[in-house]
Amino acid sequence: MAPRDNIHTIAEVLRIPVGTRLRLVRSLLGPCDKRRTVIQAQSRGLILRVEDDGLAKGESSWLRFSPGDKIEPRINGFAVLTFVDDAHDTSLRREIAAEYQFVHEAEVWDGKTAQEDA
């Protein structure tokens, strides 16, 4: 079973089990709905398999952490906040770089539920 609501640190993100299904719901470009599956954890990020239909399906995607990144818990997921340097604003501020939600076991992707796929 995927963790829920308990992701507060980068270390906790890196402990998300391989095979966990995530949905990217927001990026720096704005709202989105992109399916991903965790395939490997590394020291500074996760390697995710792209599950969306399209040209990139089956390819790898990265969730990499930079120094200063922070995890903010969300209902059923987490957000990655990163420092943004704005040429028009001299103060550094954090913005959401990515927001992920855990996929419920009953949700069907490509004709399989998360439980059937495990």
In a domain, 38, yes or no: yes
SS3 at position 37: strand
In a domain, 110, yes or no: no
Distances (CA, A) of 89 to 29, 69, 85: 19, 19, 8
Percent of the chain with pLDDT over 90: 55
Specify the number of domains making up the chain: 1
Residues spanned by the domain of 21: 10-103
In a domain, 22, yes or no: yes
pLDDT tens readout for residues 37-69: 999 999 999 999 999 877 788 899 999 998 889
User: Residues of 100-118 as b/e, b for ≥16 C-beta within 10 angstroms?
Assistant: bbbbeeeeebeeeebeeee
In a domain, 95, yes or no: yes
Band (pLDDT 50/70/90 cuts) for residue 6 is confident
- Give the phi and the psi of residue 91 in degrees, each rounded to 5: -90, 140
In a domain, 66, yes or no: yes
pLDDT tens readout for residues 71-99: 999 989 999 998 776 666 666 678 889 99
Mean pLDDT across 6-30: 92
The number of C-alpha atoms within 13 Å of 9 and in the hemisphere containing its C-beta is: 3
pLDDT score recorded for residue 5: 57
